[in-house]
Amino acid sequence: MELSALTEKLIEAVGEEYVHTSHAALRSYDHDALMIYKGQPGAVVLPETTEEISRVMRICREENLPIIARGAGTCLSGGATPAPGGVLIVTTRMNRILEVDYENRLARVQPGVINLHLSDETRPHGFHYAPDPSSQMACTIGGNAAENSGGAHCLKYGMTTNHILGMTVVLSSGEVVRLGSDGEEAPGLDLRGFFVGSEGTFAMTTEITVRLTPNPEGVRTMLTTFAEVGDACRTVSDVIAAGAVPAAMELMDRYTVEAIEKVMKAGYPRDAAAVLLIELDGLIPSMRPLEAIIRQACEKNRCTSFRLAESEEERESLWMGRKKAFGAFGAIAPAYYCLDGTVPRSKLAEVLAEFDKIGERFGFIITNVFHAGDGSLHPNVLFDDRVPGETERAVECGAEVLRVCIRAGGVLSGEHGIGIEKMREMADQFDEPTLRMMERMRDAIDPTGLLNPGKIFPGEDVLFPIAQSGGAMRAAPGMSK
């Protein structure tokens, strides 16, 4: 079908102002926050309602066109990178908080609602939305649901899937389906849990009912430093083993501290090999014994300093440094590749030592800033994308890092998803029968294969060029080159 005819249909579905096909517009949507891979769509549409998305899905199915969902584009695994020539459905106009029910502790939102905005709305009334990815000032709840995002406070409160009660989704056929319920439990199969984390390969989400969490009575935030990264890692395991479960335990290495202090001066000691940011929340009397456990574990593992935030301003400054860590890497390197793997807490020190060896072998610095409490790692390969071939080497370095996580008994992703980035390594994580079962489940929901093709599974037909190197391809096993 000619693009002009397709454009007319899309305009009829959502309005002329919200359909974009110019070269400049399409290029601005050709990658997500991973940025290494590109895929230019054939059209970009910005619907406002479930009904408009249903119309667009029906058009795409009629014309056999790939369908890709995108929120704010903060995905770090290439999940929102469009299949070349497909229709990119952007949900940023669907940004309304539809209902807040404080009595039943829930809210119903459109997928384009920014994560932090929901907490800003509900916090004055005694509640907040607990999942808090580092990108929470920009990322959308729909995207969080697609990737099952985590965040610093997920150690205590759980991942996105633990906070979604119900969803309205549109299948590739255009059919609208309601999953879960507004209550704690729904009879029948847990389709809500099945769809959360499916990375846009099952359906497009148009409404989400989320659980609201009461604000804690008190918060205690601690910053402790170490001369050795291994000592900080052992502290994490010791704290949890002693029965203390903080709301958050975030670890940053010296490279991360250097970048943060260059950019924003959060007050992290520059001479530390590792910094642990630990937060307790809850009833004030219950936090005192936990604080004692944490301090004892830090001292046992030879911490070099222990500091308690004395004011809300100081606490916010400490957290702002952590939230801005990834953006700060630009102060110490031209480019960085942010990875995402999870390992048992007891293996943290061992795995980070392996990362150092991999970095030396490839000639890269690998920085680490991560959710230490649940072993959710974010190693970052620092490289220079202006040097021919260096982006490809950074990708291969990242693949070795992910394989270390798997060998340590961990998994490929704690919160970023598989997307394009980790397709190849899926064959390292799972055997062939398991991968085929996953594919059959996806195909049962979307028999057309139009929803976010070329993602998650090795052997997919869609190829995405590496952006910085002028068109080099990374192909998973079984993919034709």
Q: Is beta strand 43-45 parallel, antiparallel or unpaired with respect to 87-90? A: parallel
Looking at the structure, give the CATH architecture of the domain made up of residues 333-417: 2-Layer Sandwich (3.30)
CATH topology of domain 97-214: 3.30.465
Instruction: Give the pLDDT mean for 263-270.
Output: 90
Q: Is there a shared CATH topology between the 218-327 domain and the 333-417 domain?
A: yes
HSE-up of residue 80 (Cα within 13 Å, Cβ side): 29
Instruction: Give the pLDDT mean for 246-262.
Output: 95
How many Cβ atoms sit within 10 Å of the Cβ of residue 205? 29
CATH topology of domain 218-327: Alpha-Beta Plaits (3.30.70)
- Which helix (H) or strand (E) is 211 found in, with range? strand 204-211
28-43 pLDDT, tens per residue? 999 999 989 999 999 9
- Domain extent listing, the chain: 3-90, 97-214, 218-327, 333-417
Task: Report if pTM > 0.85.
Answer: yes
Q: Is beta strand 248-253 parallel, antiparallel or unpaired with respect to 365-371? A: antiparallel
Residue 251 has pLDDT above 60, yes or no: yes
Helices 3-14, 50-63: axis angle to 10 degrees equals 160
Q: Are 317 and 223 in contact (CB under 8 A)?
A: no
Q: What is the pLDDT of residue 183?
A: 76
Residue 478 has pLDDT above 70, yes or no: no
- What's at 41, amino acid-wise? P
**Percent of the chain clearing pLDDT 70 (strictly above):** 96
- Nearest to residue 60, comparing CAs of 473, 469, 453? 453
What Cα–Cα distance (Å) separates residue 209 from each residue in 91, 122, 429? 16, 14, 32
3 state SS of 11: helix
Looking at the structure, give the CATH architecture of the domain made up of residues 3-90: 2-Layer Sandwich (3.30)
Q: Are 172 and 203 in contact (CB under 8 A)?
A: yes
